[in-house]
Amino acid sequence: MRSLAKFNKLRRNFNMESHRKLQLDEHGVTDVYDGVQVTVLVKDDQATMIFIDSEDADNDEAGRAFVAFEHGMSWSSQEFYNAYMAVHENPDEPAVATANGIQVTHKIDANGLHIKIVPAP
């Protein structure tokens, strides 16, 4: 199975960039902060998938959590911003972007905004 990065590196870099109340623990989960929670799936010390879930699709904290991964892992791309904007303009359709070795899916439903990060196919 492909991975995004070693979990310890991803956790360290995310925690340096993210809000002090939104920190990944040793199990790859954050506390809920301002309606946002981040979960990292880990297998054999490799981060395989990241979920950022927000109860409110317009909550800026979900975007900040994503940016913490972008900056912390050097994944920044205009493509991800474009997908984030696209899903807000057309919430009935998921928006997908691929760049820098990762694929990001943004989806809005009745439960809020959901961002999934996986290794690029």
Name the burial class of residue 35, with classes exposed (0-12), middle (13-18) and buried (19+) by CB atoms within 10 angstroms of its CB: middle
The pTM of the full predicted model, rounded to 2 decimals, is 0.95
Tens of pLDDT, residues 107-117: 999 999 999 99
State which residues form the domain around 81: 5-119
Query: Total structural domains in the chain?
Result: 1
25 CB-near residues (< 8 Å, 6+ apart) = none
Per residue in 25-47, pLDDT (tens digit) is 999 999 999 999 999 999 999 99
